[in-house]
C-alpha cells in the first residue's frame, strides 16, 4: 500500500468508558469465565452454612444470600460506570490537547500525532488486532490496546482498507 490513510480523532469520555468496558469484559469472560467467581463464593458460603447451621435454615437462608449477591453485583456495576465516566471526563479536562489526534496508517505502522508529540508504532510491535461493533483495537500486549473509534472513518470502504492493511501486515494476528 503506497497511499496513507489519515484520520482525525477527538476522543470523548464515552469512548474511553465503552472501550474500558469492552476490554474488561473480554478479559473476564474469556480468561476466567463468567461463572467462576460466583461459584467459588457460593461454594464457600454453602459449605460453611451446611457445616454450622440447621439444614432447613441453610436452604431458607440461601435465597436471600443469592438475591443480595445479585443486587450487590448490579449496584457495583452501576457505581463503577458512574465512577468511570467521571474519571474519564476529568482526565479529558485535565489534558484536552492529548485527546485530539491525527492518525496515519501506512506500510510502516500507525503514527499518532497530538500536541504532546508524535509516536509511531510499527506493525511488528502489535500483538493482535481485533474489532468490536464500534471500535478497532490494536494490541501491543495481551492487556493493553490502542483503540480507534469507527465513527471517525469517512466510510465503510476506509474501514475495509484498514482491515486489509492490518491483515497484510499482521497475518493471523489480525482477527477481523
Which structural domain range is residue 141 located in? 5-10+97-175
pLDDT band at 79, cuts 50/70/90? confident
Same domain, 37 and 101: no
Does position 33 have pLDDT exceeding 50, yes or no?
no
More confident of the two residues 19 and 55: 19
Same domain, 53 and 108: no
The residue from 71, 94, 117 where one domain ends is 94
pLDDT digits (tens, 9 = 90+) for 121-149: 999 999 999 999 999 999 998 878 899 99
Does position 83 have pLDDT exceeding 80, yes or no?
no
Does position 25 have pLDDT exceeding 70, yes or no?
no
Assign residue 103 the CATH number of its domain.
Answer: 2.30.29
CA distances from 47 to 34, 43, 50, 52, 172 (A): 21, 6, 5, 9, 46
Same domain, 36 and 101: no
Does position 104 have pLDDT exceeding 90, yes or no?
yes
Number of domains in the chain: 2
More confident of the two residues 79 and 89: 79
Please report the pLDDT score of residue 90 as a whole number.
74
Same domain, 124 and 65: no
Same domain, 108 and 89: no
Please report the pLDDT score of residue 67 as a whole number.
74
Same domain, 107 and 64: no
The percentage of residues in the chain with a pLDDT greater than 70, rounded to a whole number, is: 70
Same domain, 33 and 76: yes
The residue from 44, 64, 94 where one domain ends is 94
Amino acid at each position: 500500500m503506497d497511499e496513507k490513510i489519515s484520520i482525525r480523532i477527538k476522543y470523548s469520555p464515552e469512548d474511553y468508558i465503552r472501550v474500558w468496558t469492552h476490554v474488561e469484559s473480554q478479559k473476564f469472560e474469556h480468561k476466567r469465565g463468567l461463572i467462576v467467581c460466583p461459584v467459588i463464593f457460593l461454594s464457600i458460603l454453602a459449605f460453611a452454612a451446611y457445616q454450622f447451621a440447621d439444614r432447613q435454615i441453610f436452604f431458607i437462608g440461601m435465597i436471600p444470600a443469592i438475591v443480595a449477591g445479585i443486587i450487590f453485583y448490579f449496584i457495583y456495576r452501576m457505581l463503577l460506570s458512574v465512577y468511570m465516566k467521571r474519571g474519564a471526563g476529568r482526565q479529558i479536562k485535565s489534558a484536552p490537547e492529548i485527546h485530539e489526534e491525527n492518525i496515519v496508517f501506512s506500510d510502516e505502522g500507525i503514527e499518532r500525532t497530538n500536541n504532546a508529540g508524535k509516536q509511531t508504532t510499527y506493525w511488528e510491535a502489535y500483538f493482535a488486532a481485533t474489532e468490536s461493533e464500534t471500535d478497532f483495537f490494536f494490541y501491543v500486549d495481551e492487556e493493553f490496546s490502542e483503540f480507534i473509534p469507527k465513527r471517525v472513518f469517512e466510510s465503510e470502504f476506509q474501514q475495509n482498507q484498514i482491515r486489509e492493511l492490518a491483515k497484510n501486515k499482521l497475518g493471523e494476528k489480525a482477527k477481523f
